[in-house]
Amino acid sequence: MGIKSQQNGNEGQRIIVGLLREYGFWVHVTQRKPDGSQPVDIIALRSDCSWLMDAKFVRAENKGRFSFDDIQANQISSMEYAYEHAGIDNLGFAIVFEEEKECPRFLPFSEYMSLKRDGNKSIKKEGLAPLYTYVGN
């Protein structure tokens, strides 16, 4: 992971963590392994629910399209395990688009898997609901 990519990722995490805290969540950002990988970026807990999320930052040059190539194999396997074996269904990808930082979007893991099965390689931001619609009170 390059320096600029990591800076963008960190900025995306800060935005998402801030939003989650505004909605009353206790939030933990997991530490990256030396190779830059981690199964999820964010664990968010509140009395009524818990969430596992990976934060993604999409640069303006991608024209509002989130590429599934940005999802790492270890993230998929971790979320599959959490979904299938632990019964966690509040998980997915919190996505900050550079041109619309104030409104992070969310791609539920189950929706990602369905899109991938159907042969999709990306999704436009217009196809994603704002994160607050999932985690809001």
Say how many C-beta atoms besides its own lie within 10 A of residue 62's C-beta.
15
- pLDDT, one tens digit per residue, over 11-33 is 889 999 999 999 999 999 998 76
Q: How many CB atoms lie within 10 A of CB 137?
A: 7
Could you report the per-residue pLDDT of 50-94, keeping only the tens digit for each?
999 999 999 999 999 999 999 999 899 999 999 999 889 899 999
- pLDDT score of 3 more than 50: no
The secondary structure element, H or E, covering residue 77 is helix 73-84
The CB-side HSE value for 68 (13 A sphere, CA atoms) comes to 18
* Stated pTM of the model: 0.89
Q: Where are the domains of the chain?
A: 3-135
- Label residue 1 by pLDDT band (50, 70, 90): very low
Residue 97 has pLDDT above 90, yes or no: yes
Task: Classify domain 3-135 by CATH architecture.
Answer: 3-Layer(aba) Sandwich (3.40)
Contact status, residue 57 vs residue 9, Cβ threshold 8 Å? yes
Q: Which residue has the higher pLDDT, 1 or 88?
A: 88
Tokens of 44: 């968010």
Distance, CA of 58 to CA of 69 (rounded, Å):
12
